[in-house]
């Protein structure tokens, strides 16, 4: 895999690509993810054996850029919940056209970890631009998520969900509801897409363990599923 860094319409992007990629993978890039980006790429390549390009775009403010609506239990900033549409617009109107100019129009997998996973799922409810969604430990603790999801089905054909088996055991009662929300989302996905087009994987540990491995597993599953489609 070749690695490079580019500025695409004002955001720093980490890029890893193989010769003649078959898929475009896109993920969010928080400051805490910069050090594990290369390892995530390596793990995907080792697992799926299919050439791809992975683009991780800069997230300026983790809550502001990725939370689709306000949740007082998580953030008191009134502007949180107002910028996620702009983030999705960046992906569809700036990042993807730039990638397609270099690699061609390929199936696109959108993914992320934590709030990045939440953003990926929410984005798939707004557009049919993504062939698959790789949501690793997504932050589905956000209030009213399941009510929103019931009325806004995903438009991607494949969805991967995962969660750590200790993630619900936290003191913050709002975040502790994440397991119920993820289970509920999985039931919705089975009804919307069919059991064969979605999965829910339980990982050992809490929210802060093995982020690179969990995200790599999510992307790898999506690629393999699209390969056999």
Do 7 and 29 meet the contact criterion of CB atoms below 8 Å apart?
A: no
Alpha-carbon span 125 to 154, nearest angstrom: 4
Alpha-carbon span 190 to 196, nearest angstrom: 8
For the chain, the helix, strand and coil percentages under 3-state DSSP, each to the nearest 5: 45, 25, 35
CATH number, domain containing residue 86: 3.40.50.1820
Per the structure, the complete domain to which residue 33 belongs is given by: 2-227
Q: Identify the residue whose tokens are 């934590």.
A: 114
Alpha-carbon span 8 to 20, nearest angstrom: 21
Do 219 and 109 meet the contact criterion of CB atoms below 8 Å apart?
A: yes
pLDDT tier at 229 (50, 70, 90 boundaries)?
low
Average pLDDT rounded to a whole number, residues 20-49: 92
Average pLDDT rounded to a whole number, residues 127-138: 97
Q: What pLDDT score was predicted for residue 205?
A: 81
Alpha-carbon span 120 to 26, nearest angstrom: 9
Q: What pLDDT score was predicted for residue 30?
A: 85
- Tens digit of each residue's pLDDT (9 = 90 or more) over 146-193: 999 999 999 999 999 999 888 788 877 777 789 999 999 999 999 999
- Tens digit of each residue's pLDDT (9 = 90 or more) over 49-70: 999 999 999 999 999 999 999 8
The sign one gets for the Cα dihedral 13, 16, 22, 28 is negative
Tally of domains in the chain = 1
The strand pairing partners of 199, in sequence order, are 160
Average pLDDT, the chain: 93
Distances, alpha carbon 209 to alpha carbons 114, 164, 167, 213, in Å? 11, 8, 10, 9
- Tens digit of each residue's pLDDT (9 = 90 or more) over 82-108: 899 999 999 999 999 999 999 999 999
Alpha-carbon span 44 to 23, nearest angstrom: 12
């Amino acid at each position: 895999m070749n690695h490079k860094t580019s500025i695409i319409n004002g955001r720093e992007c980490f890029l890893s690509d193989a010769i003649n990629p078959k898929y475009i993978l896109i993920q969010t890039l928080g400051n805490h993810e910069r050090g594990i980006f290369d390892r995530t790429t390596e793990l995907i390549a080792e697992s799926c054996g299919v050439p791809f390009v992975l683009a991780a775009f800069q997230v300026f403010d983790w809550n502001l850029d990725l939370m689709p609506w306000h949740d007082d239990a998580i953030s008191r900033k009134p502007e949180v919940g107002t910028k996620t549409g702009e983030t999705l617009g960046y992906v569809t109107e700036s990042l993807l056209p730039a990638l397609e100019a270099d690699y061609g129009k390929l199936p696109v997998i959108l993914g992320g970890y934590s709030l990045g996973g939440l953003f990926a799922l929410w984005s798939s409810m707004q557009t049919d631009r993504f062939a698959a969604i790789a949501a690793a430990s997504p932050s589905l603790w956000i209030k009213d998520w399941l009510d929103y999801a019931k009325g806004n089905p995903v438009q991607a054909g494949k969805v991967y969900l995962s969660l750590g088996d200790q993630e619900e055991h936290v003191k913050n009662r709002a975040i502790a509801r994440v397991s119920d929300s993820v289970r509920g989302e999985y039931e919705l996905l089975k009804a919307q897409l069919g059991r064969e087009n979605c999965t829910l994987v339980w990982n050992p540990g809490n929210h802060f363990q093995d982020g690179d491995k969990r995200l790599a597993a999510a992307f790898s599953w999506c690629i393999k599923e699209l390969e056999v489609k």
